[in-house]
Amino acid sequence: MKKPKWMKGEGIINTDSKVGRGTKIWHYVILFKCKIGKNCIVGSHSEIGGIVGDNCKIGHGVFIPRGAEIEDEVFIGPKACFTNDRFPKAVGDWSITPTYVRKGASIGANVTIRCGVTIGRNSLVGCGAVVTKDVPDNAVVVGNPARPIERKLEHMKVGYAFVVGDLLHCGHLNFFEECRKHCNFLIVGVYTDELAMTYKRKPIITFNHRLRLISALRVVDMVVTVGNKDCTPMLKKLTKAGWKISFLFHGDDWKHVKGTKYIESIGGRLIQPKYFKETNTTMIVKKIRSEHN
Ligand SMILES: CC(C)(COP(=O)(O)OP(=O)(O)OC[C@H]1O[C@@H](n2cnc3c(N)ncnc32)[C@H](O)[C@@H]1OP(=O)(O)O)[C@@H](O)C(=O)NCCC(=O)NCCS
């Protein structure tokens, strides 16, 4: 019988599972009614009954039972063990308590995860930890029970974007999400009313409200106040405060982004995600004016 492409090794047991394109599965793996996304690697002697997203790397001897849901780009070290029944017993009923691992998280070798927790985006669970509580986005946790330790800057890819952020809409969100594909810590500079008025209009939403709304977004890790269209002073200030900024972001509607030279001088680069023409503040303002005059 011809082996499916994903079957790299011998002895794979597959019961009603779905495996995405480009995923490779090594020797002696049990797949039990699971769903694995595209371009993943599953190490040998693992058992999977849960849901795994795209581009995940799963080490050898990992146990991911039904009830565990793992998003895209998650790393799971060798011998990591998820659980799904909080009060297990050999005889009688059992019930599943779900566990979630958010995008970009990394789980070290030999980690045990008690069911019912959520492991946050881009977080890192140190090897040997026992996770009993939710792990916040971007946190590093270690030990038994796992507790956060300070996240070292060298583990982080930090990006800086800046916006007026008036009438917060999906165009802003799309932009931040694009930025977040390149970094795991996003600092967003929010223009003051005075700065915005130098080249656009007076924002409709006050500065404090724009700041609050943007900092409440899950994709934004930190906000700073910006009073200068040239990003160089802010990038210098952040660098001086200990941040190692790797990326400066602005939509591709700007040809020259002031601050590019500086970001390159500190080993970073400018990234210009596609500007979302379909949704922008100017368009919304025009629409309100035309439809509600
Ligand atoms: C969590 C981790 C990323 C921290 O690395 P780091 O930032 O270089 O941290 P340090 O080594 O400076 O340790 C900071 C403190 O946390 C403790 N610590 C670090 N990792 C720990 C762990 N896994 N369990 C318990 N304590 C740990 C250190 O002992 C140190 O404590 P101290 O301040 O009291 O001396 C790293 O130790 C780790 O566990 N990486 C995962 C490795 C892994 O499983 N890889 C899988 C692929 S094989």
Q: Does the predicted TM-score (pTM) go above 0.75?
A: no
User: Looking at ligand 1, which atom is closest to the CA of residue 128?
Assistant: 23
CA of 32 to the centre of ligand 1 (A): 33
List the chain domain ranges.
1-149, 153-282
Please choose from 74, 130, 149, 154 the residue to mutate so as to test ligand 1's pocket, defined by most ligand atoms within 8 A of CB. Answer: 149
143 lines ligand 1 (CB under 6 A): yes
Which pLDDT score is estimated for 82? Answer: 98
Predicted confidence at residue 153, as pLDDT, reads 66
Q: 158-163 and 24-25 as β-strands: parallel, antiparallel, unpaired?
A: unpaired
Is any ligand 1 atom within 6 A of the Cβ of residue 145? no
Taking phi over 0 as left and psi of -120 to 50 as alpha, with beta for the rest, 196 belongs to alpha
Pick the CATH number of 153-282 from 3.40.718.10, 3.40.50.620, 3.40.640.10, 3.30.70.790: 3.40.50.620
**DSSP one-letter string for 4-70:** PTTB-SS--EEES-EE-TT-EE-SS-EEES-EE-SS-EE-TT-EE-SEE-SS-EE-TT-EE-TTEEE
Establish whether residue 126 lines the binding site of ligand 1, counting it when its CB lies within 6 angstroms of any ligand atom: yes
CA 155 to ligand 1 center in whole angstroms: 12
- Spans of the chain below 70 pLDDT: 1-4, 153-154
pLDDT at residue 2, rounded to an integer:
65
Ligand 1 atom nearest residue 140's Cα = 1
**Quick one: 1-149 is in which CATH superfamily?**
Hexapeptide repeat proteins (2.160.10.10)
Q: In a 3-state reduction of DSSP, which class is residue 271?
A: strand
Distances (CA, A) of 230 to 87, 132, 254: 58, 46, 13
Q: Is the CB of 142 under 6 A from ligand 1?
A: yes
Residues listed for the chain: 293
- The burial of 217, by beta-carbon neighbours within 10 Å (0-12 exposed, 13-18 middle, 19 or more buried), is given as middle
| CA–centroid distance, residue 172 to ligand 1 (Å) | 36
CA of 276 to the centre of ligand 1 (A): 41
For residue 62 the two structure tokens come to: 């990992």
The type of residue at 286 is K
What is the DSSP code (8-state) at residue 197? H
267: which 2 tokens? 């080993």
Separation of CA 69 and ligand 1 centre (Å)? 25
Q: Does the beta carbon of 153 lie inside 6 Å of ligand 1?
A: no
Q: How many CB atoms lie within 10 A of CB 46?
A: 24
Rounded Cα distance, 212 and 242, in Å: 24
| CA contacts within 13 A on the Cβ side of 59 | 16
Summarize pLDDT for 92-120 with one digit per residue, the tens.
989 999 999 998 899 999 999 999 999 99
Q: Model confidence over 262-280: pLDDT tens digits?
A: 999 999 999 999 877 777 8
